[in-house]
Amino acid sequence: MVFLVIELAALIIGLVLANLTKTISDLYRATQFVREGNFFGHRVLWNAEDATGLGESLQFDDQLDQQYAVDQARQKSVAALGK
């Protein structure tokens, strides 16, 4: 019976660590895209119950998308004026 409890605890700990590792891996891949200059090539998905709290600290993602759209429209307008 004690062995079963220890095995169950090990399974739960393993699942929590796997989730944490996946989140950190996704964040690392996103930083590689940013390092290459591709700011919008990779999206990191998270939820508010994320084990590392990234969901709360990275809420500006939607604002970046909106700013990118505004910048693209501005560049098209400038290009159209130049022609």
Contact criterion met (CB below 8 Å) for 51 and 23: yes
Give the model's pLDDT for residue 11: 93
Residue 29: predicted pLDDT: 84
Q: What's the CA gap between 62 and 64, in Å, rounded?
A: 5
Rounded CA separation 27/45 (Å):
9
* Domain ranges (residues) in the chain: 2-82
pLDDT at res. 76: 87
- Name the pTM for this structure: 0.41
Q: What band does 66 get if pLDDT is binned at 50, 70 and 90? A: confident
pLDDT tens per residue across span 19-61:
778 778 888 888 888 888 887 776 766 655 555 555 555 556 6
